[in-house]
């Protein structure tokens, strides 16, 4: 059954066809100003801005003083980035309707885009003064300033909304969103908690509260908020999925699996949830089950890099390195700059005795992130294992230069230098490492176990670790 909107849509489409026929046949047709505005809006909705602009030109010949058509023309100029042209149209329209709030809004928006913020603010104040719907105007002012990345100003309008219209729930969400843009998550919590005080059964508010806690890495509080959301609406799947993510962060994998399963749409399961379930089973060392979920995820979304990588990990854990490398490679092709994926593939290639290929990947990683010490350590270790001590030292020194405060680089360098017979330099690097982080001294024994029996080395370690315990 058709409703009133359907009839209106059909009427507008008929007017558009009549207008286009007139242009095509170069005839004359009568259109009132309101009809031309509707045709203009139709073209804008279809993203045919040039067609819409032509309608305004046609309309101003028939109705040169019609402010409605001028408004549309200015809006189109703004959408096209022609701000000076928009301003000219607005000035003309102001002559006929100097107290029009829409004109003041458009003028303010245009002036913002032209960089004249003070003049824009004056126009926004006029818009507030002229409007018959103050709450709607405050919302619009907040959104315009958000779009222009003037978040502090936008927040001011949302705060004004809350003060004047305390039951306007959307204002609390908008204020919280703006706080997030300003990296003020604690303030965002304040606004959402105020909304919950007003309406404790607002499921979206509890969900939003949970997402903010999650961003703050406060998983326990996030889970509690998601639970309140689910208590209000047990079918709130995003809350259940988000709760599962936080349970995963807390390494409560069995509970996370239950929540992920409950959030799945049985008729149309999504790949990310299946992949996350696979990840939980993998961390529970149930690799067969994990692999089956990764494969289901790949089948649904072959472009989900995480699923290819996850399945590769299950193969690697069962020492199927060649097969694992294939899946890691596919993951990297889908996410070319994912350092974790490239590191894992490089390690796998090394286990497959493909050291040269592994080194190429480590070079690629250090180009992407020069401070990735893990890549420098692994790359240099390949050279060290081949008894290329000088090359290993040179590579690792480059890494240390990039991140001189990383103690692992200094510990490893001490090992390489000691193995190369450069004991004085080795002690210097060991002392630097110990001064940064004395607790990780055992790393040197993983590379050179014989250092446990070198008195100078053990004495130096004992000196720093004993002093650290006293502190």
For residue 175, is it within any domain? no
The verdict on residue 370 lying in a domain is: yes
Query: Which pair of structure tokens corresponds to residue 53?
Result: 């602009």
**Lowest-confidence pick of 57-71, 114-128, 413-427:** 114-128
Which of 142-151, 249-258, 271-280 is least confident? 142-151
CA-to-CA distance for 327 and 283, rounded, in angstroms?
A: 19
Instruction: Evaluate the CA torsion angle 27, 31, 35, 41 in order and state its sign.
Output: positive
Q: Mean pLDDT lowest for which of 187-191, 211-215, 262-266, 427-431?
A: 262-266
pLDDT at 7 over 70: no
3-state helix, strand, coil in the chain (%, to 5): 80, 0, 20
Residue 209 lies in a domain: no
Domain boundary among 98, 132, 166: 132
Q: Which range of residues forms the domain containing residue 452?
A: 405-471
Q: Is the pLDDT of residue 1 over 60?
A: no
Q: Is residue 198 pLDDT above 90, yes or no?
A: yes
Nearest CA to 346 among 320, 318, 374?
A: 374
Tell me, what DSSP letter sits at residue 243? H
Contacting residues for 275 by C-beta, under 8 A, at least 6 apart: 293, 294, 297, 304, 306, 307, 310
Query: Is 230 a domain residue?
Result: no
Q: Determine the average pLDDT of the residues in 95-118.
A: 87
Shared domain for 8 and 115, answered yes or no, is yes
Q: Are residues 97 and 26 in the same domain?
A: yes
Residue 213 maps to a domain: no
Q: What is the pLDDT of residue 147?
A: 84
Residues 8 and 124 in one domain: yes
Q: Are residues 67 and 108 in the same domain?
A: yes
- 5: pLDDT confidence band, cut at 50, 70 and 90? very low
Give the separation between CA 315 and CA 329, rounded to whole angstroms: 13
Q: How far apart are CA 216 and CA 211, in angstroms?
A: 9
* Same domain, residue pair 448 and 361: no
What pLDDT sits at residue 468? Answer: 64
Domain boundary residue, one of 111, 132, 153: 132
Instruction: Say which residue, 430 or 124, is predicted with more confidence.
Output: 430
CATH number of 8's domain: 1.25.40.10
- Residues 282-311, buried b or exposed e (16+ Cβ, 10 A)? beeebbebbbbbbbbbbebeeebbbbbbbb
pTM: 0.77
pLDDT in tens, 297-328: 999 999 999 999 999 999 999 999 999 999 99
The whole-chain average pLDDT of the chain stands at 93
Closest CA to 398 of 413, 419, 415, 417: 413
Higher pLDDT, 118 or 4: 118
- Six-digit token string for 185: 């998550």
* Torsion sign over Cα 283, 288, 291, 292: negative
Percent of the chain residues past pLDDT 90, beyond the cut: 82
124 found inside a domain:
yes
Q: How confident is the model at residue 239 (pLDDT cuts 50, 70, 90)?
A: very high
* pLDDT, position 364: 95
Q: Give the span between the Cα atoms of 373 and 97, in whole angstroms.
A: 66
**Is the sign of the CA dihedral 318, 320, 323, 329 positive or negative?**
positive
Tens digits of residue pLDDT in 153-191? 999 999 999 999 999 999 999 999 999 999 999 999 999
Say how many Å lie between the first and final Cα of the chain, rounded: 80
Selection from 71, 117, 109, 105 nearest residue 90 by Cα: 71
Of 408, 339, 413, which is closest to residue 370 (Cα–Cα)?
339
Cβ-proximal residues to 289 (8 Å cutoff; 6+ apart), any chain: 278, 281
Task: Annotate 124-164 with DSSP letters as a single string.
Answer: HHHHHHH-S-HHHHHHHHHHHHHHTT-HHHHHHHHHHHHHH
Instruction: Identify the helix (H) or strand (E) that includes residue 350.
Output: helix 339-351
User: Are 4 and 115 in the same domain?
Assistant: yes
pLDDT surpassing 50 at residue 128: yes
Per-residue pLDDT at 9 = 72
Compute how many other C-beta atoms are within 10 angstroms of the C-beta atom of residue 55: 27
For residues 9 and 117, membership in a common domain is answered with yes
For range 38-42, the mean pLDDT: 94
Query: Do 5 and 126 share a structural domain?
Result: yes
* Predicted local confidence at residue 471, as pLDDT: 47
Taking the CA atoms of the chain, what radius of gyration do you get in angstroms? Answer: 32
- Within this chain, do residues 11 and 116 fall inside the same structural domain, yes or no? yes
204-220 average pLDDT score? 97
Own/partner contacts of 54-63, CB < 8 Å, gap of 24 or more, are 55/19, 59/31, 59/33, 62/31, 62/33, 62/36, 63/33, 63/36
Residue 124 has a pLDDT of 84
Residue 3 has a pLDDT of: 44
Choose one of 80, 97, 132: the last residue of a domain: 132
pLDDT higher at 360 or 115? 360
Number of structural domains in the chain? 3
Token reading at 68: 């409605």
Give CA–CA dist 267/269, Å, rounded: 6
Q: Are residues 467 and 354 in the same domain?
A: no
Answer yes or no: is 78 within a domain: yes
Confidence of residue 2 (pLDDT cuts 50, 70, 90): very low
Decide: helix, strand or coil at residue 461: helix
Q: What pLDDT, on a 0 to 100 scale, did the predictor assign at position 467?
A: 66
What confidence category does residue 4 fall into, taking pLDDT thresholds of 50, 70 and 90? very low
For the segment 257-280, the average pLDDT, to the nearest whole number, is 93
Is the pLDDT score of 380 beyond 50? yes
Provide the token pair at 177.
């969103």
């Amino acid at each position: 059954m058709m409703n009133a909107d359907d009839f209106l849509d059909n009427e507008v489409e008929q007017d558009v066809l009549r207008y286009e026929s007139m242009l095509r046949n170069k005839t004359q047709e009568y259109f009132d100003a309101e009809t031309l505005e509707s045709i203009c809006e139709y073209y804008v909705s279809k993203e045919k801005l040039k067609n819409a602009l032509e309608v305004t030109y046609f309309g101003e010949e028939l109705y040169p003083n019609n402010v409605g058509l001028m408004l549309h023309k200015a809006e189109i100029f703004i959408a096209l980035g022609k701000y000076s042209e928009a301003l000219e149209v607005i000035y003309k329209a102001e002559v006929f309707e100097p107290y029009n709030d829409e004109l003041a809004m458009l003028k303010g928006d245009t002036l913002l885009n032209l960089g004249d913020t003070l003049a824009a603010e004056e126009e926004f104040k006029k818009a507030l003064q002229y409007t018959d719907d103050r709450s709607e105007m405050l919302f619009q002012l907040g959104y315009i300033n958000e779009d222009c990345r003037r978040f502090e100003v936008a927040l001011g309008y949302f705060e004004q909304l809350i003060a004047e219209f305390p039951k306007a729930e959307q204002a609390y969400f908008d204020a919280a969103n703006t706080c997030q843009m300003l990296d003020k998550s604690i303030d965002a919590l304040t606004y959402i908690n105020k909304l919950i005080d007003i309406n404790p059964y607002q499921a979206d508010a509890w969900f939003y509260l949970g997402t903010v806690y999650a961003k703050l890495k406060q998983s326990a509080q996030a889970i509690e908020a998601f639970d309140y959301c689910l208590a209000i609406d047990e079918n709130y799947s995003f809350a259940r999925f988000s709760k599962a993510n936080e349970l995963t962060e807390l390494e409560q994998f069995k509970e996370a699996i239950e929540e992920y399963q409950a959030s799945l749409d049985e008729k149309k399961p999504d790949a990310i949830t299946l992949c996350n379930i696979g990840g939980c089973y993998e961390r529970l060392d149930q690799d067969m089950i994990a692999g089956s979920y990764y494969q289901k995820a790949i089948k649904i979304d072959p472009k989900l890099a995480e699923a290819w990588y996850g399945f590769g990990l299950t193969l690697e854990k069962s020492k199927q390195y060649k097969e694992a490398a294939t899946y890691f490679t596919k993951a990297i092709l889908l996410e070319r700059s994912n350092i974790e994926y490239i590191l894992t593939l490089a390690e796998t290639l090394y286990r497959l005795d493909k050291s040269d290929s592994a080194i190429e990947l480590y070079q690629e990683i250090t180009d992407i992130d020069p401070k990735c010490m893990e890549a420098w350590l692994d790359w240099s270790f390949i050279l060290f294992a081949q008894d290329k001590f000088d090359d290993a030292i040179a590579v690792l020194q480059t890494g240390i230069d990039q991140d001189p405060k990383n103690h692992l680089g200094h510990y490893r360098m001490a090992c390489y230098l000691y193995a190369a017979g450069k004991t004085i330099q080795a002690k210097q690097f060991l002392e630097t490492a110990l001064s940064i982080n004395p607790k990780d001294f055992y790393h040197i024994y993983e590379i050179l176990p014989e250092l446990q029996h070198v008195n100078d080395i053990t004495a130096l370690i004992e000196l720093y670790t004993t002093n650290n315990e006293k502190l």
